[in-house]
């Protein structure tokens, strides 16, 4: 009997745990004083510059310093290679799976019903998430009594990058709501794909999918077969990329933790914990509760099925890059039928960001408290509304939530300078909120599938998985 390989999520979890341990060790032991001892004066420049200028930059840099830099770059290389691979398939998977999903529903009434349900649940859960964020932030008051000196010190340390984020948001802001909505409609579908504008790709795929159901069957069938085949091709590529997932997760986490400003984290610990507590309540309390009330999916089944997607979301900070794995988990392990999963999940990855919205709620209250402002009910409602809308426009890639926060702060008249204060801990909170975003997508797809009678029972899933047992979730099925 062939030896069974450890399941993918365990391997990812081991990568994650080792990454944390190694990251913490480097963070604690490899300080600027160590660089200085090795003859490296400016470690940032030393790490960033090519070898050709090293001689001028660090005449004394010795073998240990060079080796450390090599390892760091090799580590970043593995993480980036993996993320590039996942980004590479993000647009094709949305396009092909959505086209196949819509075309195979083959019923515009059903499509409208599922679409309506999906969007309604996405919006309601997002608004609920921000409300939870606002409530916790008001109760805990992470910014109350925050020393003004520390606020200014943190703000000046990150002033330049905060300006860049605010600048990025402003380019969005000069536009009227008409233009923003209009922009969802691509003028060139290929341009949208090339630019990686997922919202536009969703629209293009929806239009093409609906059109496929309206043209004669004889003509539609070969196109659907191509899209279906391409979806399988993309999923197979995902499985190939996932082979390096445990190593890449190690590399990504070790890098983030090694670079983490522990001092900044400690200064912002109350704020960070408020965000994490809010996200934990949503992920481990609200979602399972909603599932319990509206579907037969129970706690253990849900989390066991989606854990690879959650781990990947945490490691990559990108729900877009995680999408192919989210689809794989929901279809194969949770038992959502392909036509529903391939319709609901790409839309969810693009527009449903409960974690991001919750984070924006907490951040807005925190910043207001930093500046001694008391938010009125009207301002808080503005936050709920703008954060719900902003989360739709948030691209599913790392670090966009904080850019969209600018829009939320402006709408509620909260000082934008506060962005600089929270920037230092954004990456780690991005990892947490992305996990919540992906979990939310999985929750919604379960509800939609159940109400449509397209969710397998736990026994059906188990029986199917037992059949596939020879072939791991992440491996190639042999010729069928």
State the residues that interact with ligand ASP by CB under 6 A. 317-320, 353, 356, 394, 396-401, 430, 433-434, 437
Judged by CB, which is closer to ligand ASP: 342, or 394? 394
Least gap, CB of 248 to ligand ASP (angstroms): 17
What Cα–Cα distance (Å) separates residue 298 from each residue in 34, 125, 312, 331? 50, 19, 22, 16
For 3, phi and psi rounded to 5 degrees?
-70, 135
The burial class, CB within 10 Å (0-12 / 13-18 / 19+), for 87 is middle
For the CB of residue 133, give the shortest distance to ligand ASP in the complex, in Å: 13
Radius of gyration of the chain (CA): 23
User: Is-contact 94 202, C-beta < 8 A?
Assistant: yes
Q: Which residue number, 209 or 424, has a Cβ lying nearer to ligand ASP?
A: 424
Q: Which two tokens stand for residue 356?
A: 């991001």
| Residue 411 C-beta: closest distance to ligand ASP, Å | 18
Work out how close the CB of 420 gets to ligand ASP at its nearest, in angstroms, rounded to a whole number. Answer: 17
Q: Residue 313 Cβ, how far from ligand ASP at the closest point, in Å?
A: 7
What is the distance between the alpha carbons of residues 357 and 201, in angstroms, rounded to a whole number? Answer: 23
CB 356 → ligand ASP: shortest distance, Å?
Answer: 3
Q: How far is the CB of 279 from ligand ASP (least distance, A)?
A: 11
Q: What is the Cα–Cα distance from 121 to 298, expressed in whole angstroms?
A: 19
H, E, C per residue of 107-137: CHHHHHHHHHHHHHHHHHHHHHHHHHHHHHH
Of 342, 298, 306, nearest to 448 (Cα)?
Answer: 342
Q: Which residue is nearest to ligand ASP (CB)?
A: 401
Place of tokens 């005449």: 59
| Smallest distance, ligand ASP to C-beta of residue 396, A | 4
Q: Given the complex with ligand ASP, which of 118 and 318 has the nearer CB atom?
A: 318
Q: Which is nearer to ligand ASP, 180 or 373 (CB)?
A: 180
How near is the Cβ of 340 to ligand ASP at its closest, in Å? Answer: 21
- Helix, strand and coil content of the chain, in percent to the nearest 5, comes to 80, 0, 20
Cα gap 86→88, rounded to integer Å: 5
User: Smaller CB distance to ligand ASP: residue 290 or 400?
Assistant: 400
CA distance 166 to 393: 16
What are the counts of helices (DSSP H) followed by strands (DSSP E) for the chain? Answer: 25, 0
Q: How far is the CB of 354 from ligand ASP (least distance, A)?
A: 10
Residue 251 corresponds to which tokens in the numbers above? 């590399």
CB nearer to ligand ASP: give 46 or 359.
Answer: 359
Q: What angle in degrees, to the nearest 10, is found between the helix axes of 299-316 and 319-328?
A: 150
Residue 455 has φ and ψ, to the nearest 5°, of -120, 125
Q: Give me the least distance between CB of 399 and ligand ASP, in Å please.
A: 5
Nearer to ligand ASP, 104 or 272 (CB): 272
Question: Which of 312/368 has CB closer to ligand ASP?
Answer: 312
Q: How many CB atoms lie within 10 A of CB 50?
A: 6
Q: Which is nearer to ligand ASP, 58 or 318 (CB)?
A: 318
How near is the Cβ of 82 to ligand ASP at its closest, in Å? 15
Residue 202 near residue 96 (C-beta atoms within 8 A): no
Q: Are the CB atoms for 157 and 424 separated by under 8 Å?
A: yes
Q: Please state, in angstroms and rounded to a whole number, the distance separating the CA atoms of residues 166 and 395.
A: 16
Q: Indicate the residue among 26 and 419 with the shorter CB distance to ligand ASP.
A: 419
Contact 389, 363 (CB under 8 A): no
Q: Which is nearer to ligand ASP, 79 or 209 (CB)?
A: 79
Instruction: For the beta carbon of residue 428, count every other beta carbon within 10 angstroms.
Output: 16
Residue 58 or 118: the one with the smaller Cβ distance to ligand ASP is 118
Candidates 170, 169, 156, 27; CA nearest to 424 is 156
């Amino acid at each position: 009997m062939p030896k069974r390989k450890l399941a993918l999520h365990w391997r990812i979890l081991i990568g994650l745990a080792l990454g944390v341990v190694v990251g913490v060790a480097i963070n604690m032991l490899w300080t600027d004083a160590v660089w200085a001892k090795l003859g490296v004066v400016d470690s940032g420049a030393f790490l960033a510059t090519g070898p050709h200028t090293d001689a001028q930059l660090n005449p004394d840099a010795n073998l240990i310093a060079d080796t450390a830099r090599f390892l760091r770059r090799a580590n970043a290389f593995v993480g980036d290679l993996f993320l590039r691979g996942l980004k590479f398939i993000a647009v094709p998977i949305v396009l092909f799976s959505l086209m196949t999903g819509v075309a195979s529903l083959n019923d515009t009434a059903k499509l409208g019903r599922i679409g309506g349900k999906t969007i309604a649940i996405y919006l309601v859960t997002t608004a609920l998430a921000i409300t939870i964020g606002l409530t916790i932030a008001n109760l805990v008051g992470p910014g109350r009594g925050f020393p003004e000196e520390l606020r200014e010190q943190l703000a000046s340390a990150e002033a330049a990058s905060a300006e860049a984020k605010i600048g990025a948001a402003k380019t969005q802001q000069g536009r009227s709501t008409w233009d923003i909505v209009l922009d969802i409609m691509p003028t060139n579908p290929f341009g949208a794909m090339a630019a990686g504008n997922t919202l536009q790709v969703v629209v293009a795929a929806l239009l093409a999918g609906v059109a496929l159901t309206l043209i004669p069957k004889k003509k539609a069938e070969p196109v659907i077969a191509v899209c279906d085949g391409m979806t399988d091709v993309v999923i197979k590529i995902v499985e190939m990329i996932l082979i390096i997932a445990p190593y890449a997760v190690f590399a990504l986490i070790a890098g983030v933790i090694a670079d983490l400003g522990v001092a900044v984290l400690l200064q912002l610990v109350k704020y960070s914990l408020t965000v994490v507590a809010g996200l934990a309540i949503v992920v481990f309390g609200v979602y399972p509760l909603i599932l319990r009330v509206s579907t037969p999916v129970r706690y253990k089944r849900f989390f066991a099925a989606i854990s690879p997607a959650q781990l990947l979301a945490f490691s990559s900070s990108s729900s877009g890059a995680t999408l192919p794995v989210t689809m794989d988990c929901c279809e194969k392990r949770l038992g959502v039928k392909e036509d529903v999963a391939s319709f609901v999940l790409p839309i969810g990855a693009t527009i449903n960001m409960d974690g991001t919205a919750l984070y924006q709620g907490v951040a807005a209250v925190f910043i207001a408290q930093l500046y001694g402002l008391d938010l009125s009910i009207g301002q808080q409602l503005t936050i709920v509304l703008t954060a719900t809308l902003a989360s739709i426009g948030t691209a599913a890639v790392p670090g966009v939530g904080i850019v969209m926060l600018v829009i939320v702060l402006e709408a509620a008249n909260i000082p934008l300078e506060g962005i600089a204060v929270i920037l230092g801990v954004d990456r780690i909170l991005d990892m947490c909120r992305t996990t919540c975003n992906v979990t939310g997508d999985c929750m919604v797809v379960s509800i939609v599938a159940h109400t449509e009678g397209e969710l397998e029972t736990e026994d059906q899933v188990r029986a199917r998985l037992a059949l596939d047992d020879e072939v791991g979730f992440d491996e190639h099925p042999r010729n069928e």
